[in-house]
Structure 1
Amino acid sequence: MKSFEDQPQVSLYDRLRNSVLLKLAFIGILILVLLIPTVWIQNLITERAGRQNEVIREVAASWSDSQQVKGPTLLIPYRYYSQVKDTSKKANGQLSIHLLPDVLHIKANVQSSVLHRGIFNVIVYNSKLNIAGSFSPPDLRKLNIDPNLVMYDKARLVLGMTDLKGLKNAAVITVGDTAQNAEPVFDSDAGISDGIQVPVKAQTINSGHIPFSVVLDIKGSQKLSFMQLSQNTDVEVTGDWPHPSFEGRYLPDERTVDAKGFSAVWKMAFNRILPRQWATDATLINDDKTIEQTSFGVKLLQPVDQYQQTMRTSKYGVLIIILTFVSLFLTELIRQQRVHVFNYVLIGAAMVVYYTLLLSFSEQIGYNLAYLVASIATIGLISFFLASILKNKGAATLFAFILTVIYGFIYIIVRLEDYALMVGSIALFIIVAMLMYFSHKINWDKRDSVN
């Protein structure tokens, strides 16, 4: 029987080098360290998405911005007198009565196209709008205005637009039986910063019914919207873009979307937030709160936002690294083959570089194909690396299968919207159960070191 002195002595260095607990501690620290480049990559994704938005703004500045049609409104100036302090004299000035239409009908056809600026795409459109409706004359008693002070001969109809640069040709506005080419709005009394206008005859206003129609041929980028300012409004928008998003305070009552395009119909009655007429605040229509509470329309979306999906994928980076390292560590214990800590560092670096591959390729070939290319490249690299380390193709093949399942699982979660949390929770539960199953086969009391 050998004495204690005859037993082979293990140095402190060897015991530390082969310690399971020390290895686990190192893996944990490595995972925390890898959080740093993961955050850098997320910042890079944000920067690239910001560059895309910058390109969209540059193209919009050259082409035309998103268009919002405001109104129309009927403006009728009137004189007013106010008492000057400390004198018996009166000062006079001019204000305007603002009238909103009783009925408003809008038909718009949107023809889209895609402009390319480097690797970025910007959706723009041309649209023809037919706007028609009618006003009622002002009720001067409710406004407490003397009829003798109203200047009907200076009345005008004003229609607001976000970007007059998008007006392709002279807009024709018909009020009553008079058709005229519109002119830009130059003054602030209209309450609309950008727009077009035509004068309105006094006899048209005094006739008791004020019909109007507007023909617009405009261009814009990404979005076309309107404001609910009429007592009865119906808007019909058709287009050839297959990926519309209906936005704003009001959703369409009817909609159809297919590969050939879309159509949408809004019908609104008695739900406008502004009064039919007022004479105090000239900026009421252009107020941010009013715009927010009355706006609705359609936005032409990119079919796939690669930056948003890449960002969502990168947020699962830590989970992928943890699952990969745990799987590799269990492979060490079960097969009793040691993987050096430096090899863990290299594998972690490969999983971090995966996201730069995904980002760069998604800008060129789209997210789905980029995910496939980056995943195959990363799984192949790690698998061949492990095959050379473990000298076992079967173990490397099994690990490649595990990585494929992990990356496939992440792809499914990213693609899901409403069920992402539920599917992810169930999958994580299954993964934890599998790890518990395989770990119970290991005799941790006897495995105080990794061979």
Structure 2
Amino acid sequence: MKHPLFAKIAALAAVGMLLLFGLGLIKDVVRDRQLYRSAAAHGVAQSLAGPQTLIGPLVHSACVESWDETVGTGAERRTEERRREFLLTAPPERLQVQSAALMQERARGLHKVNAYTLKAHLTAQWPDLAALRPEGTVRGSRMQCGAPILMLAVQDARGIRAAQVDVDGSAQVLRPGTFHPVYARGLHAALPEGLRHREGVLTAALDLELVGTERLAIVPLGGTTEVQMQSTWPHPSFAGRFLPSEREVGDGGFTARWRLSSLATTAQQDIAKGRTVCDTPGDGGDRCADSFSVAFVDPVNPYTLSDRAAKYGVLFIALTFVAVGLFELMSNGPHAPPLRGSLPPEGAAFSSWDGPATKRLRVHPVQYLLVGSALCSFFLLLVSLSEHLPFGLSYALAAGACVLLLGYYASHMLGGRWRGLPFGAGIALLYGLLYVLLQLEQTALVVGAVALFAVLAAVMVLTRKVDWYGLAARRMPVQEVAA
């Protein structure tokens, strides 16, 4: 062939495209498994209860204003009754929530979902219920209002396991539903009509046991809202419009405290307008009611980590091909030692022997393809093993298998075990670096950038004296090294 170097570059480019296609298929597998896990989480939520949102306690009363209006003229003049229906709401002036979330792991097939049982004690105080006293908009109108309703709304009422409420020290009967036109799921207690006009502080204490999955959100409905939450889950993700003012996170769980004022939130106005509480608080802007949340996330989600690992696949293949090319280049240099099987006859000197001593190391594109395929298989092994074993153990098994395979193959491909061992050690170092990057979150980019710069510097130092034009012009007869 007239230009063997360019032909090999073209062949390696074709090999690279095949490997990129294979990596794409593996990423599709990881994404499919992620979808299966999402479907499993949805299935658990359908059978148990979904993410929960607490709204309340809140007191409301449905009212109707009616009046007589004369319409028509002359003989057609008549009197008709007009009606206006409206809802009066009274958010608490002070709201305190003491809660503890006990984690329960649920599974659907291979996939695990974080469920919790929330035990909460809510205390709400109103200075009075003046907000429930209706005011007419038409002179001489008639007012009719239903009894005041104390309500607590939740996102999924199937999760309510137990509840009881005391109003001013007197136990009240709780019933399902809220009688609220927007936040209909939850529970309520009908209050005596006399409380509407009573002067003095009204106090309600509610004990609630609630089951949910993956996330818990709370609407800061009080004039001042204080929430304390404890859980044995060590990996909380705080989100929404407000982060905790205090939090302690450790291996044994977390404790978080929120202290909010109605001066800092529009939650009372949002609920009065009937705005929805978004599934992901804070993402809906002005269309969503203010809330804050805690997500019980799993930091060692095997699919997320496998997806992150697969994104480094192209870099793995590129660095490995560079390493193989360096071995091939350095082995064919002017001071390279003879390959295995190329010793001169007994009594002959290397300097005067021109037989098999001219034998050069050449790595066939098929061998590059096999090495790249082994690297790609690591990511498939990782995601499949991590469905049954802890991620760290799965990573060690997949990486160990690939390092042993590549080290063994390289010892034959590169013409000796002393070339194969450094090659296998380099692959092991790459896998170790990737594992470190997967464990890091905030510093993953800087560590990866520094490591990549170090590899580039090493390649430049090793090839600083290579005559690249000489490589293309060289016309020495070559012979493939037997594997």
Contact preservation (8 Å) 1:158, 1:195: yes
Structure 1: how far apart are the matches of 2:9 and 2:294?
Answer: 54
Q: 2:327 is matched with which residue?
A: 331
Aligned to 1:35: 20
Give the distance between the partners of 1:397 and 1:277, measured in 2 at CA: 66
Name the CA distance, whole Å, in 2 between partners of 1:293 and 1:278.
7
* Separation in structure 2 between the aligned mates of residue 75 and residue 202 of structure 1, nearest angstrom: 12
Residue in 2 that maps onto 1:429: 453
Indicate conservation of the 8 Å contact 2:88/2:131, yes or no. no
SS in 2 for 1:440: coil
Q: Given the superposition, is the C-alpha separation of residues 304 and 96 from structure 1 closer, same or farther in structure 2, using an over 3 Å criterion?
A: same
* Residue aligned with 2:388, SS: helix
Query: Residue 250 of structure 1 aligns with which residue?
Result: 242
1:22 to 2:18 alignment:
no
Are 2:96 and 1:105 equivalent residues in the alignment? Answer: yes
- How many pairs does the alignment contain? 432
1:5 equivalent in structure 2: none
Please state how far the C-alpha of 1:380 moved relative to its aligned partner: 1.2
Question: Aligned partners of 1:27, 1:250: CA distance in 2, in Å?
Answer: 53
Helix, strand or coil: the match of 2:468?
coil
Give yes or no for contact 2:63–2:146 (8 Å, CA) kept in 1: no
Q: Is the 8 A contact 1:102 1:134 kept in 2?
A: yes
TM-score (norm 1): 0.88
User: What do residues 24-70 of structure 1 show as CA deviations (whole Å, max 9, x unaligned)?
Assistant: 23223322331111111111111111111111111122122121111
* CA positional deviation for 1:328: 0.5
User: What residue number does 1:179 align with?
Assistant: 171
Find 2:213's aligned residue among 208, 214, 221.
221
Indicate conservation of the 8 Å contact 1:251/1:296, yes or no. Answer: yes
Q: Secondary structure at the match of 2:166?
A: strand
- Please give the residue correspondences for 1:361-372 in structure 2 after superposition, counting only pairs within 5 Å: 361-372=385-396
Equivalent pair of 1:334/1:442 in contact (CA under 8 Å): no
Asked if 2 retains the 8 angstrom alpha-carbon contact of 1:66 and 1:222, the reply is yes
1:398 match = 422
The corresponding residue for 1:271 is: 264
Partner of 1:259: 251
Aligned to 1:202: 193
Task: Answer yes or no: is 1:127 the counterpart of 2:123.
Answer: no
Q: Which residue identity lines up with residue 382 of structure 1 in the other structure?
A: L
Conserved 8 A contact 1:227-1:296: yes
Say whether 1:307 aligns with 2:299: no
Shift of 1:144: 5.6
C-alpha change, 1:277 and 1:372, in structure 2 (3 Å) is closer
Give how far 1:20 is off: 2.3
Question: Deviation of residue 93 (structure 1)?
Answer: 4.5
Equivalents in 1 of 2:130, 2:449: separation in Å? 62
Distance 1:278 1:65 in 2: 21
Would you say the 8 A contact 1:104–1:133 is kept in 2?
A: yes
| Letter of the 1:242 counterpart | P
Q: Distance in 2 between matches of 1:71 and 1:291?
A: 19
Corresponding residue SS for 2:470: coil
Identity %: 25
Give how far 1:139 is off: 4.4
Tell me how far apart the structure 1 counterparts of residues 40 and 70 of structure 2 sit (CA, whole Å). 55
Assess, with a 3 A threshold, how the Cα gap between structure 1 residues 24 and 221 changes in structure 2: closer, same or farther: same
Q: Which secondary structure state, in structure 2, belongs to the residue aligned with residue 59 of structure 1?
A: helix
Q: Which residue of structure 2 lines up, in the alignment, with residue 89 of structure 1?
A: 80
- Give secondary structure in 2 for the equivalent of 1:116: strand
1:166 aligns with 2:190: no
- Secondary structure of 1:368's aligned partner: helix
Deviations 1:221-280 (A, max 9, x none): 12222101111110111122222222221111121222222211111113230457997x
Which of the residues 235, 240, 246 maps onto 2:227? 235
Closer/same/farther in 2, CA of residues 341 and 277 from structure 1, 3 Å limit:
closer
Q: 390, 399, 402: which one pairs with 1:378?
A: 402
Distance in 1, Cα, partners of 2:469 & 2:205: 88
Q: Match for 1:158: what amino acid?
A: M
| Among 344, 366, 370, the residue aligned to 1:346 | 370
Max radius of gyration: which structure?
Answer: 2
Post-superposition Cα deviations, 1:115-161, rounded to whole Å, max 9, x if no partner, equal 23322211112121111112232347996658985545522112101
Change beyond 3 A, Cα 1:150–1:278: farther
Q: 1:41 to 1:82 in 2, by over 3 A?
A: farther
**What is the CA–CA distance in structure 2 between the aligned matches of 1:391 and 1:286, rounded to whole Å?**
66
Aligned-partner residue type, residue 54 of structure 1: A
8 Å contact 2:60–2:132 — kept in the other structure?
A: no
Taking the aligned partners of 1:292 and 1:424, their CA distance within structure 2 comes to 39
Shift in Å, 1:164:
1.1
**In the alignment, what sits opposite 2:106?**
115
Q: Residue 13 of structure 2 aligns to a residue in which SS? A: helix
Q: 1:285 to 1:71 in 2, by over 3 A?
A: farther
Compared with structure 1, are the counterparts of its residues 339 and 290 closer, same or farther at alpha carbon in structure 2 (3 Å cutoff)?
same
Cα pair distance change 1:363/1:292, threshold 3 Å = farther
Q: Which residue of 1 aligns with 2:434?
A: 410
